[in-house]
């Protein structure tokens, strides 16, 4: 077993006294989580995520430097909470609810024309003002931009269902991200979130979609 361990990455590295103390502490924390009533590695990620975020192991690992975040798509660089609580509160942001209960966003100087998947665009600021509980409304927007659900096993009975929801979330987010003033802030926020996690290097995979400075409506777009 010692010979096998020595062949692992870092297996032949001699730890300093301080590093040995940290390794021992991390090992104790792992053992504590393994015997807990609710062990995050044994749960669905959606149910485990709140436990992970409160975990002593997670907080310790978050402070440690990481080599790189690889294969990060530009459209999923930033958490949806920032998109909803920051971007959707910006002026001229319109929203439309599709027939399948998804959403579309569009920044426009005037009321956008209807299109095949969106018959009625509403100014988001006006709609939010009419809602009795803006917090719940924002939470519902975030839910439409992620796969998160309280009961993932029932919500996603097969791969086709979850893949469809996955694609809908990216399509919805695109209406926010491709607005030029947002895109600039979006990339800065993404780098800041990685910095908070002490990530040293980012491999970003981004498409060549058009970025719009303003969009009066889908048929009169100006780059």
The verdict on pTM exceeding 0.95 is no
What is d(CA 80, CA 184) in angstroms, rounded to the nearest whole number? Answer: 16
Residue 189, token pair as written in the block: 């926020």
Per DSSP, the three-state class of 82 is helix
Alpha helix (H) residue ranges in 35-158:
45-54, 56-63, 80-85, 124-130, 134-144, 152-155
Output the pLDDT for position 132.
83
Output the pLDDT for position 206.
81
Per DSSP, the three-state class of 148 is coil
Are 189 and 78 in contact, with CB atoms under 8 Å apart?
yes
The pLDDT profile of the chain, 223 residues, written as one tens digit per residue, is 988 888 888 888 889 999 999 999 999 999 998 888 888 888 889 989 999 999 999 999 999 898 899 999 888 999 999 999 999 999 999 999 998 888 999 999 998 888 888 889 999 999 999 998 899 999 999 999 999 888 888 889 999 999 999 999 999 999 999 999 999 999 999 999 999 999 999 999 887 667 777 554 444 444 3
Output the pLDDT for position 208.
66
Output the pLDDT for position 214.
59
Give the burial string for 2-16 (b: 16+ CB within 10 Å, else e): eeeeeeeeeeeeeee
Output the pLDDT for position 222.
40
The residue ranges of every structural domain in the chain are: 2-64, 73-205
| CA–CA–CA angle 165, 75, 175 (5° rounding) | 75
């Amino acid at each position: 077993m010692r010979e096998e361990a020595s062949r692992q990455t870092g297996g032949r590295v001699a730890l300093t006294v301080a590093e040995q103390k940290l390794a021992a502490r991390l090992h104790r924390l792992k053992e504590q989580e393994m015997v807990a009533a609710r062990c995050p590695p044994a749960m669905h990620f959606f149910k485990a995520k709140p436990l992970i975020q409160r975990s002593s192991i997670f907080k310790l690992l978050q402070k440690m430097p990481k080599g790189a975040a690889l294969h990060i798509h530009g459209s999923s660089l930033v958490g949806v909470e920032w998109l909803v609580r920051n971007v959707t509160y910006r002026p001229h942001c319109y929203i439309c609810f599709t027939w399948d209960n998804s959403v579309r966003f569009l920044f426009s100087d005037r009321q956008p024309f209807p299109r095949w998947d969106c018959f009625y665009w509403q100014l988001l600021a006006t709609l939010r003002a009419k809602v009795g509980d803006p917090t719940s409304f924002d939470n519902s927007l975030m839910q439409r931009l992620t796969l998160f659900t309280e009961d993932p096993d029932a919500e996603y009975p097969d791969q086709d269902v979850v893949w469809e929801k996955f694609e809908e979330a990216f399509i919805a987010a695109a209406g926010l991200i491709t607005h030029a003033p947002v895109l600039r802030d979006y990339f800065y926020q993404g780098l800041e979130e990685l910095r908070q996690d002490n990530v040293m290097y980012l491999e970003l995979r981004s498409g060549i979609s058009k970025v719009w400075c303003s969009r009066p409506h889908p048929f009169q777009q100006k780059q």
